[in-house]
Amino acid sequence: MPLPLAARSLRRADVAERDWLDWRWQLRNMLTSADELGAVLELAPEERAGLAASAHLFRVGITPYYASLMDPAHPSCPVRMQAIPAAREGAIRDEELRDPLGEDSHNPAPCVVHKYPDRCLFLVVDRCAIYCRHCNRRRLVGGDDPPTTPEIEAGLAYIARTPRIRDVLISGGDPLLLSTAKLDHLLGRLRAIPHVEIIRIGTRIPVVCPMRVDDELCAALRKHHPLYVNTHFNHPKELTPESRAACARLVDAGIPVGNQAVLLRGVNSSVRTLRALMRELLKARVKPYYLFQGDTVIGTDHLRTPVDAAIELYGKLRGWMTGMGVPHLVIDAPGGGGKLPIVPSYIEELGDEVVKVRTYRGAIVDYPQPRERDCTVPYDDVYFAGVPEDDDREGSAEALEPADA
């Protein structure tokens, strides 16, 4: 039986160190209500109203660790804004969608989203250690409909019979909420499929429950190389000693760690914040990979940044800081067209003889084109002798064809 709310404080100072460092304790004690949050900070009226409305919007859940990063004095705290619903979540526009990325129409097998030719998502769990207010999969996540074992088996069977899938992204929900034994088993099953070249895990665990990244987990993960982890830091404030240590344990296990941030209005939509975020990530040996323009998902309009502002922000990263720290700024096309880069134009004029390029400081410079234009690689015929061309059909094309075709 949980203690009555009033008697339970989830403030770090009041919790035994052994409990605090236990990831299962963190998950068992997630803060989910205005009463619990009100016990650790002063809620603003906008937050109180958002929490009251959240029951019919999208579930609330915050680990005590992540809540401990909240600035109790400022509702504009980036951690609060990502975790505590605002009343504006309920101001839904017609343009906002349940499934903005058309995932439900690229779903050739249970748990599988196959859009691109050679890679797919594998959604194996419906729970998270934080329910981000900008979540684009809120239709699937945090509900009472977790993927079943037969569904996961059917997903594995699809991947096994689709040889053009080279790259499986395990996501959810948060895959690192599976027990280590289950995750190990699942990774082993994927590794047993000969055409699966790399496996990626998408997880926010290093950010919101870094104690989950323990030696046992790292020992299990490192058996399944080449394995990549992409995590989701949105603000430099999230790079605490604990979260840095979690990233270090992953990297030390030989796992390249990338970051997929979401550009969130008023949370990280400033040049200073983005530069600091990217620099702190590099210091933690995490490579900034994507910076997403917000998807048009229900209840998130107030967190989206205008595209023109996003492009301007990007222009203040490229060249001004190391390219290692500059992620791809992308829109994931509504309807399922996939991710596309949005960049300021660095080409002023594209001629056959000269290209006029724009430097990061705005100067226009001539780049002379080469004399020869034939780009054939003669050695391709030798190196790829007998190798079939890539199968570039859109993902899930197999599912649209009769089984005996």
Ligand X SMILES: *Cc1c(COP(=O)(O)O)cnc(C)c1O
Q: What Cα–Cα distance (Å) separates residue 24 from each residue in 15, 64, 211, 241? A: 14, 11, 9, 20
Taking Cα atoms as reference points, which of 360, 305, 355 lies closest to residue 329?
Answer: 305
Q: Does 166 bind ligand X (CB under 6 A)?
A: no
How many residues bind ligand X (CB under 6 A)? The answer is 8
Q: Does 131 bind ligand X (CB under 6 A)?
A: no
Nearer to ligand X, 206 or 210 (CB): 206
Looking at residue 84, what DSSP letter applies? S
Least CB distance to ligand X at residue 117 (A): 10
Q: Does 228 bind ligand X (CB under 6 A)?
A: no
Nearer to ligand X, 63 or 396 (CB): 396
Least CB distance to ligand X at residue 300 (A): 17
Q: Does 339 bind ligand X (CB under 6 A)?
A: yes
Q: In 22-63, which residue ranges form alpha helices assigned H by DSSP?
A: 23-28, 34-38, 45-53
Q: Does 137 bind ligand X (CB under 6 A)?
A: no
For ligand X, which residue of 65, 116, 233, 292 counts as binding (CB under 6 A)? 116
Nearer to ligand X, 121 or 278 (CB): 121
**Helix, strand, or coil here: 260?**
strand
Token look-up 């649209």 returns 400
Taking Cα atoms as reference points, which of 199, 205, 313 lies closest to residue 267?
Answer: 313
For ligand X, which residue of 169, 201, 211, 253 counts as binding (CB under 6 A)? 169
Nearer to ligand X, 165 or 246 (CB): 165
Nearer to ligand X, 200 or 275 (CB): 200
Q: Does 66 bind ligand X (CB under 6 A)?
A: no
Contacts of 280 (CB under 8 A, 6+ apart): 236, 239
Sign of the Cα torsion 241, 243, 249, 254 reads: negative
Q: Evaluate whether 212 touches 129 at the Cβ level (below 8 Å).
A: yes
Which residues lie near ligand X (CB under 6 A)?
A: 113, 115-116, 119-121, 169, 339
